[in-house]
Structure 1
Amino acid sequence: MREVCKSYPRRPVLRGVSLDLPAGSLVGIVGENGAGKSTLLRILVGELALDSGTVEFRGRVGYCPQNVVLHEAFTVDQHLRYLQVAYGLDNLDRAVELLETLRFADYRHARLGTLSGGTRQKLNLTLALMHEPQVLLLDEPYQGFDWEMYLRFWELAESLRDRGRSVLVVSHLAYDTERLDRVFRLEAGQLREADRVRVGAVGGGV
């Protein structure tokens, strides 16, 4: 993306944001709540019109939003089959693999309304990945995860990077950013490259 700008009435949010996501990269964006991170992601996936600038992707895009967009009455399996049709997939092999990786295959026939927040987020992540996107955009992707699942998430993200995928992780906390190839801070409507925090060191809200 190049020089992306977005303003709401009387409030500029993005002031010329530019970023490259090369194949085989794991990149992070951190910033305070209200800094414009979710606005930026919604522009990248086409949910929100930009005021000026350009956005271009090569290949399929997967998006895991911060707010889980799922149906309370549907089972996990129904969500998978709905997206199978939407993505035009021949089978659910990759989805089933992700269920096993994220350790919630036993919930396949459970309705969403019975699941914990962390398990819902596992489904949210699975739906974003099941069509093998070349570019993956993740907004607070590990919210609700316990420590074991948090570590498993990073293993998954790193494996995607190693398979040549472009992965963007957006969070309001600068935490474990040493796991990222590059990390940027979104503030005052612009991206600035930031120092990486060593694994295990907690940065406060930034």
Structure 2
Amino acid sequence: MEVRDVRHSYRRRTVLRGVDLRLRGGVLAGIVGENGAGKTTLLKILAGEIRPEYGTVHRSGRFGYCPQHAVLNDALTVRQHLRLFEKAFRLTHLRHAEEIMSVLGLTAHVDERAGELSGGTRQKLNLTLALMHDPRVLLLDEPYQGFDWDTYRRFWELAAHLRDTGRSILVVSHLAYDTDRLDEVWTLSDGLLRPGPVNAP
């Protein structure tokens, strides 16, 4: 993925002032920044959910997008969500989804309705749906919110494994303490993307 001079505003408030980014294959990268810095807006632009006012985004290969807030149907079970996305992605089986569910500890909830799941379990389903079609580029917005420590650790093990198999992973967070797990880190501040974490000396 390559991003050049992306700019975006909401009415008179400029959020992105000219963002450049190159996400290489086999890299686990992160963008950190304070709440309201424009991280979610940038990720929505990268995912194609919204169109920037200026600039270009070039992608290659399948990509998966895990939004910050899970978009689930509370009336459907976990299994029904998987079947729905299986058809949407035109998959022939759910083996990859089942592997991810096993890693994240979601398997035991497969017949529960989304509306009955805890916040952390809903996020496990959100992440599974983003990864189940085995994308080459992963865009993850606060993907581990609500996770307990064990699931949080398993998430990073999964992310590292995907990186090691050649996937490109971009994790967006307002927390800087995860940066030691990343190969590349940028800070989004004042509408610009700069190398290094927020608290870098």
TM class by smaller structure? over 0.9
Q: Matches of 2:92 and 2:149 in 1, distance apart?
A: 34
Which residue number in structure 2 is paired with residue 186 of structure 1? 188
Q: Which of 153, 156, 161 is the matching residue for 1:154?
A: 156
**d(CA) in 2 for partners of 1:192 and 1:14?**
12
Equivalent runs, 1:30-41 vs 2, <5 Å? 30-41=32-43
Is it true that 1:129 corresponds to 2:131 in the alignment? yes
Aligned to 1:15: 17
Matched residue type, 2:188: L
Matched residue, 1:170: 172
Q: Deviations over 1:123-150 (max 9, x none)?
A: 0000000000000000000000011111
Distance 1:15 1:105 in 2: 43
* Percent of aligned pairs sharing the same letter: 61
Compute the displacement of 1:4 (Å).
0.4
1:104: which partner in 2? 106
Query: Structure 1-normalised TM-score?
Result: 0.94
Q: Work out whether residues 28 and 184 of structure 1, in 8 Å CA contact, stay in contact via their aligned partners in 2.
A: yes
Partner-residue secondary structure (3-state), 1:79: helix
8 Å CA contact 2:176–2:197 kept in 1: the answer is: no
Paired residue secondary structure (1:42): helix
How far has the Cα of 1:57 moved from its partner? 0.7
Q: CA RMSD in A?
A: 1.3
Hey, what does 1:144 align to over in structure 2?
Answer: 146
The code of the aligned residue for 2:10 comes to Y
2:26 maps to which of 11, 24, 27: 24
Structure 1 distance, partners of 2:76, 2:15, is 36
Q: Distance in 2 between matches of 1:104 and 1:38?
A: 26
Structure 1 residue runs of 4 or more that deviate by more than 2 Å after TM superposition = none
User: Contact 2:32–2:197 at 8 Å: present in 1 too?
Assistant: no
Instruction: Quote how far apart the aligned CAs of 1:194 are.
Output: 1.1
Is the CA contact (8 Å cut-off) linking 1:59 and 1:134 kept in structure 2?
Answer: yes
Q: What are the residue-to-residue correspondences of 1:51-70 with 2, within 5 Å?
A: 51-70=53-72
1:175, distance to aligned residue in structure 2 (A): 1.4
1:91 aligns to 2:93 (yes or no):
yes
* Cα contact 1:98–1:130 (8 A) shared by 2: yes
> How many pairs are equivalent?
198
Does the aligned pair in 2 maintain the 1:183–1:196 contact within 8 Å?
Answer: no
Code of the aligned partner of 2:66? C
Question: Gaps (5+ residues) in structure 1?
Answer: 198-202
How many Å apart are 1:13 and its aligned residue?
A: 0.5
Secondary structure of 1:55's counterpart equals strand
TM-score, L = length of structure 2:
0.96
Distance in 1 (CA, whole Å) between partners of 2:156 and 2:198 is 16
For structure 2, list consecutive stretches of 5 or more residues without a partner in the other structure. none
Structure 1 residue 195 displacement after superposition: 4.4
